[in-house]
Amino acid sequence: MNKNYLFSFILLSLFTLGCSNTNQLTNIDKKEDANPTSNDMIELNALTSQKYTLKVGQKAFFKTKVHGSVGLGAEHEIEDTSIIQLVSDDIEFDSKENAEMPGGDAAKKQFIFEALKAGKSKITINENYRGDLKKIASFTIEVE
Report whether pLDDT(70) > 80: yes
Residue 68 lies in a domain: yes
Task: Look up the CATH number of the domain holding residue 116.
Answer: 2.60.40.2020
Residue 46 lies in a domain: yes
How many independent structural domains does the chain possess? 1
Q: Which domain holds residue 103?
A: 22-143
Residue 15 lies in a domain: no
pLDDT digits (tens, 9 = 90+) for 79-122: 999 999 999 999 999 988 787 788 888 999 999 999 999 999 99
Concatenating the DSSP letter of every residue in 110-130 gives: EEEEEE-SSEEEEEEEEEEET
Residue 126 lies in a domain: yes
Residue 5 lies in a domain: no
**Verdict on whether the full-model pTM lies above 0.85:** no
